[in-house]
Amino acid sequence: MKKRYLILGLFFFCVILNAQSKDEREERVKLKDFPVKAQDVIRQLPNGYKRMRLYKETDGEKVSYEAKFKFKKQLVSLEFNTLGGIEDIEIEMTKKALKKQRELFKKIENFLKSKGKKYKLIRIQEQYIFPGIDALPFLLSVLNKTYAEAINYELIVQVKTDKDWIFLETLFNESGELLISRYIKPSSYGHILY
């Protein structure tokens, strides 16, 4: 009888521990730490990229590898899964460029204004999801700005609600529909402020 309770107790303990370890972290790594398939893709990138930095990101159970670099004045972020397959490629864009897409911007702004009185756009990226085949032609068409399929927009924003200030990571499709919205924790400053 007592054994059963002990096992049950241990089980719940493990569940709690697991829930607590949902930690988002990223660390700088070297090319050799990337999955082999991803290493090959990086080696085949067109010449002319600068400031290549490689990261391994862990978000709870999910692990991904990200290559960040500058290509033809664009800030690019290329994400791979643990098997080395491309997940997506994100390119930073300016507020000005987003505002030019009036319909899209109006819908995004409506969502942000529904969340709070004031908002501030911190970072905007165009997100190109990999269709699953022909990695290199996909990459080249995105980098050379000839890609013609659907793209998403990832925005990191800060919103002032009635009572609070919140940081959100949001994803919209081309029609301005919200796909994902999640809270992100701002980095601490209390060790520097005083």
Q: Could you list the residues that contact another protein (CB under 8 A)?
A: 23-28, 55, 118, 120, 158, 160, 163-166, 186-194
Q: Which is nearer to another protein, 83 or 162 (CB)?
A: 162
Q: Which is nearer to another protein, 138 or 154 (CB)?
A: 154
Q: Cβ 82 to another protein, closest distance in Å?
A: 18
Q: Which is nearer to another protein, 4 or 163 (CB)?
A: 163
Distance CA 175, CA 160 (A): 25
Q: Residue 35 corresponds to which tokens in the numbers above?
A: 């999955």
Q: Residue 160 corresponds to which tokens in the numbers above?
A: 């002032």
Q: Cβ 145 to another protein, closest distance in Å?
A: 24
Q: Residue 67 corresponds to which tokens in the numbers above?
A: 């290559």
User: Phi and psi for 83 in degrees, rounded to 5?
Assistant: -90, -5
How far lies 40's CA from each of 74, 95, 146, in Å?
A: 22, 34, 23
Q: Cβ 29 to another protein, closest distance in Å?
A: 9
Q: Which is nearer to another protein, 43 or 163 (CB)?
A: 163
What count of other Cβ atoms lies within 10 Å of the Cβ of residue 115?
15
Q: Which is nearer to another protein, 57 or 87 (CB)?
A: 57
Residues 6+ apart with CB under 8 A from 98: 104, 105, 108, 121, 124, 153
Q: Cβ 130 to another protein, closest distance in Å?
A: 23
Q: Cβ 188 to another protein, closest distance in Å?
A: 7
Q: Which of 26, 30, 106, 22 is nearest to 61 (CA)?
A: 22
